[in-house]
Amino acid sequence: MAACFNCGASLDAYLLSKVGRQDSCSKCGRDLRCCKNCEFYEPNSHWECREEVAEHVLDKEKANFCDFFKLNPKGAAGFSKSKDDILSAAENLFKKK
């Protein structure tokens, strides 16, 4: 499920069409065509992108002109889970069997 990096709202309607530079989330109003909503966004990569971009994008949450942009169909990279989800994941990670 494609989701807004900021609020987690569903962006599945955009999976079959191009996301324009002027498009914004209907729930929170944040830019959709930004690094944090892109399939290639990777915080641990050079310039935080898995593609070989020619230009460094400083603000990953603002609309940009990147030619590689592709809406992430697996969900937003920056969307954070709730505190309870994080605690549950940590408990499961260190649970003794």
What per-residue confidence (pLDDT) applies to 78?
A: 47
Q: What is the pLDDT of residues 8-53, one digit of tens each?
A: 999 988 888 889 999 999 999 999 999 999 999 998 888 999 998 8
CA distances 49 to 12, 37, 75, 81, 93, Å, are: 22, 12, 16, 22, 28
pTM: 0.74
Residue 28: count of CB within 10 angstroms of its CB = 12
34, 61 contact by CB (below 8 A): yes
What per-residue confidence (pLDDT) applies to 13?
A: 86
Enumerate the domain spans of the chain. 1-97
CA angle 86, 87, 91 (to 5 degrees): 120
d(CA 89, CA 33) in angstroms, rounded, equals 30
Q: What is the pLDDT of residues 71-97, one digit of tens each?
A: 998 876 545 455 565 667 677 777 765
